[in-house]
Amino acid sequence: MTPLAAAANENLAQISNYLIYSSMAVYTLAFFAHIAEWTFGSRSKVARTAAALTGAKEAQDAPAVQVRAKGGGTAVLDQPKVVTRSAAGTRDVPDGPGAGGGTVQGDLYGRIAISLTALAFLIEAGGVLARAMSVQRAPWGNMYEFSITFSTVAVGTYLALLALKKNVRWLGLILVTSVLLDLGIAVKILYTDSDQLVPALHSYWLWIHVSTAIFCGAVFYIGAAGAVLYLFRDAYEGRLANGRTAGKFYASVMERLPSAASLDKFSYRINAAVFPLWTFTIIAGAIWAGDAWGRYWNWDPKEVWSFVTWVAYACYLHARATAGWKGRKAAYLALFAFACWIWNYYGVNMFLNGLHSYSGV
């Protein structure tokens, strides 16, 4: 490499760092905008929703209504049936009004938060691209590069779901918070200077295997976030069903989320949709291992934990499709599966030695 080319690559690496830090600054602004959306959204709207929820069963149990008809007689009108969309065995609870509380002010802050999140996503994506140009390869050679790409894909998936008119704006605050945490760890702990790949990684399979692994992890994260919120919302709905009350702040947050049934379905569909791609990721990794090391399976820690993660998600999907395992049990299993993925990324790379020890830290 000529000195001029080396200087150009160094400049691109510096630009990448600048863009990553700039995206963190914009994500921080988005974080405060999401906080404002939750804080200044109408509480009265939430209170009316809560009253409607708690009064639904009372309305069903109420006696028929008598009204006076023409001619002096009376007519008996049955209570209107409550139309539900939830599965059998679940509570008949509608979705909440969202983080903005269904008000103009809350919606304004929400739209500002989404706009800032989209801007931060574009800046971060530019940082990932500049990093790739600085090393003239796929930017996935170490944990730092993997981390900045992971958060970019996670935010991109969230924005894509919004563009498809999916009801996921409630995920914004959690997503931005975790992205800031991911980027903070990346730049302070995992950062590695731009460098060339180890010989084993010089393959077109890098683009196939690692890109699908990153995408799967980002989508699994969104599914895990839905499972966590499901557990909180389900506990809250159970509290109301048992006649107990909740604190004002807790009730305000919970009532704006989708119902437990919706969150359960959301998490299941997200995980089910990406599971075949995770299966392909493991198969692609095995093929790459055969090309690089002469064996398709070496019982390397990364390979073992990738398979453990696959088994955990397979058990979750099977359990979720079984009527007796819907709900909290399935949610716990989904979170265990994602914990396996997290350990496979951080724990295996940083604490275990193997053929996949490319963390760079």
pLDDT at 193 over 90: no
pLDDT in tens, 171-192: 999 999 999 999 999 999 988 8
Res. 90 pLDDT band, cuts 50 70 90: low
Quickly tell me which residue has 């919004």 as its tokens.
Answer: 162
Report whether pLDDT(153) > 70: yes
Q: Is residue 321 pLDDT above 90, yes or no?
A: no
End-to-end CA distance of the chain: 26
> What was the pLDDT predicted at 27?
98
pLDDT digits (tens, 9 = 90+) for 35-44: 999 998 865 4
**pLDDT averaged over the chain?**
82
pTM reported for the whole predicted model: 0.82
Percent of the chain with pLDDT over 90: 47
6-10, 117-121, 230-234, 265-269: least confident range: 6-10
Pick from 64-68, 106-110, 237-241, 339-343: least confident: 64-68
Residue 79: per-residue pLDDT:
43
